[in-house]
Structure 1
Amino acid sequence: MLRLRCKAKNGTHLMQGLTHQSCVQELKHKVEELTGIPCEVQKIMVGYPPSSLDFRDGDATLKDYPIKSGDTLIVEEEKNKPKPQTTPTPAAPTNVPKGPSLGNTGPTLERRVVPADNSCLFTSVHYVVEGGVYEPTCAPEMRGLIAQIVASDPTAYSEAVLGKTNDEYCAWIRREDTWGGAIEVSILSKFYQCEICVVDTQTVRVDRFGEDAGYQKRVMLIYDGIHYDPLQKVAAGSDTPPQTVFSTTDDVTLAQALELADEARRKRQFTDVNRFALRCMVCQMGLVGQKEARQHAKETGHTNFGEV
């Protein structure tokens, strides 16, 4: 027997009664029964990053697909396909004027662009944890918060962890021209008691900070190699504030974030940090990639770099 979970917007359901010999159409009917999404408009995905399964051949058996017991199938409704009509739609009376078309007003996940000013990580984290409040002057406060946390625990935040002494790091992170990264995301995840998911557009992977801490809340950022932006759900044409905080069990929205990252990857919307051109703003030396930049910083103490 296959023990599968079906995850859709209306929750997670355990799928029973299927085996590898079951046909595709049987699976799709099970999904429709559990989620209410008609077979004809189902988009079924598996794995991370999620990949769509080609279920056009309803007579094919599940053993022909990369599905194994314990997998979670992510199910969405394909908006570009018309739902099947079970009864004829009556013609509209000719003497009644048509009302305006409301279109699809459901919330969609999107990137909220913030300035590329060396503080994009701090601006982005502040935006999502505060529920979509954009505060362009929050970076110094966020940097100071991180410095205080690090200074308060020199054992946990030692030179081996930080790559520099505790005092040096605290002075470094307060500077407005330094970039945040994994260490800072980890610290902020603990402080705000929420999982922070960073979706990478180059590799289409997600790094989940605080994943094993038992947090109930999740926020998401998208990262292109050098720049962070927050992710939010927005309802088109609505005055409802954007949604930036999600449940840690909401894997459907996380899958949508990975789809956004994959779309950005296909459009080459990322920076290869191993190949991009840099210049040391102290001595003007040209460098290629973060490896050369780290080596230059180690040899000279220069840490102010600009992208060419």
Structure 2
Amino acid sequence: MLRLRCKAKNGTHLMQGLTHQSCVQELKHKVEELTGIPCDVQKIMVGYPPSSLDLRNGDATLNDYPIKSGDTLIVEEEKNKPKPPAVPAAAPIGVPKGPVLEDAVPTLQRRVVPADNSCLFTSVHYVVEGGVYEPTCAPEMRGLIAQIVASDPTAYCEAVLGKTNEEYCAWIRREDTWGGAIEVSILSKFYQCEICVVDTQTVRVDRFGEDAGYQKRVLLIYDGIHYDPLQKALAGSDAPPQTVFSTADDVTLAQALELADEARRKRQFTDVNRFALRCMVCQTGLVGQKEARQHAKDTGHTNFGEV
């Protein structure tokens, strides 16, 4: 039995009578009963920072979502949400129905962010905030990491950082520095979620926070110099994308690896251990990681291949 708290503007209510086998529609009806917010305009969030739940599939069970007993669900009314389309009248007997749209299923896709030296921070912010793109978030994210590192000089020592604690904090705040594994690990702990980075060169996944018991997972794709967030979205729909997944969702993780493999076969990666590179956008020849980074910064081109 789940014991959930429903927090809305009209107060906090204890929700009872739900189990992990209850369907999404039961949850929505319970929320409407307690808050008065109609099912079709509910925005239900969970976790910290709060992330929206994709509850469009009313037949799905709560076991498919990162909800556990004792959680507080934050409920808001989406006042600007368009009304659901009217259900068409049933076709007369003997008249065949129209074709079913095969693409009316959310698919996993890359959401491209600028190549401005802060792609990692922009990408992480995008996925943990449920698909909210905020191009000015990088200084805040860099400052957050610097504060965390400065607060624990023992854990974040020179042996870990490759710099003194003080030097690292000044370095990570600079606009021209790039984030990597250390920063992903710190952000995973801060946001209490597993961050999976799929690599397009090796077609492997690096899972940060894998052993921490987190219930939430977000996905990034990495081509050697550039990070982009991954999201599930419905083609042609204005519905918000899904960027937060359950750590038990191995299907979506496998789909992310398929995207990485497709990018590898198209040679959409950068091998920073070799020097002969070519921009696959403008065909400029480049030498080494330094030139590739500068080219990405100057042009916004992030698709590189080996020569």
TM-score band w.r.t. shorter chain? 0.5 to 0.7
CA–CA distance in structure 2, aligned partners of residues 102 and 60 of structure 1: 21
Q: Displacement, 1:240?
A: 1.8
Q: Distance between the aligned counterparts of 1:96 and 1:122, measured in 2?
A: 54
Aligned-residue Cα RMSD (Å) equals 12.3
Worse-matched range after superposition: 225-234 or 57-66: 57-66
Question: How far apart, CA to CA, are the structure 2 residues paired with 1:140 and 1:20?
Answer: 40
Q: What aligned pairs does 1:1-308 form with structure 2 within 5 A after superposition?
A: 99=98, 102-276=101-275, 289=288
Q: Distance in 2 between matches of 1:217 and 1:61?
A: 17
Q: CA deviation at 1:235?
A: 1.2
Q: Distance in 2 between matches of 1:232 and 1:65?
A: 16
Q: Which runs of 5+ in 1 are unaligned?
A: none
TM-score normalised by L of structure 1: 0.61
More divergent stretch after superposition (101-110 vs 35-44): 35-44
1:212 is displaced (CA, Å) by: 0.2
Runs of 4+ aligned residues of structure 1 deviating over 6 Å after TM superposition are 1-89, 91-95, 277-287, 291-308
Name whichever of 37-46 and 251-260 sits farther off: 37-46
Distance 1:82 1:282 in 2: 38
Q: Which moved more, 1:294-303 or 1:52-61?
A: 52-61
Measured in 2, the distance between the counterparts of 1:194 and 1:21 equals: 24
Partners of 1:282 and 1:92 lie apart in 2 by 50
Residues 38, 101 of structure 1: alpha-carbon distance in 2 compared, 3 angstrom cutoff? farther
Specify whether residues 204 and 12 from structure 1 end up closer, same or farther in structure 2 by C-alpha distance, changes over 3 A only: farther
1:263 & 1:96 partners in 2: Cα distance?
42
Q: Is the 8 A contact 1:50 1:258 kept in 2?
A: no
Q: Structure 1 residues 72 and 162 mapped into 2: Cα distance closer, same or farther (>3 Å)?
A: same
Identical-residue share of aligned pairs (%): 92
Offset of residue 4 of structure 1: 34
From the superposition, tell whether residues 100 and 182 of structure 1 become closer, same or farther in structure 2 (CA, over 3 Å). Answer: same
Greater Cα offset, 52-61 or 178-187: 52-61
Inter-CA distance 184–28: structure 2 relative to 1 (3 Å threshold) = closer
- Equivalent residue pairs, number: 307
How far residue 104 of structure 1 moved from its aligned partner, in angstroms, is 2.3
Contact 1:74 1:252 in 2 (8 A): no
Q: How many angstroms apart in 2 are the aligned matches of 1:86 and 1:92?
A: 15
For each residue in 1:237-281, what CA deviation from the matched residue of structure 2 results, as whole angstroms up to 9, or x when unmatched?
Answer: 222210000000101100000000000000000011112469999
* TM-score (norm: length of structure 2): 0.61
Report deviation, 1:102: 3.0
Residues 4 and 153 from structure 1, CA distance in 2 versus in 1: closer, same or farther, beyond 3 angstroms? closer
Inter-partner Cα distance in structure 2 for 1:242 and 1:199 = 19
Larger radius of gyration: 1
| Corresponding residue SS for 2:73 | strand
Gaps of at least 5 residues in structure 2 are none
* Contact 2:46/2:74, CA 8 A, preserved across alignment: yes
Distance 2:39 2:208 in 1: 36
* Distance change in 2, residues 1:85/1:254 (3 Å): same
Counterparts in 2 of 1:78 and 1:245: CA distance versus 1, 3 Å: closer
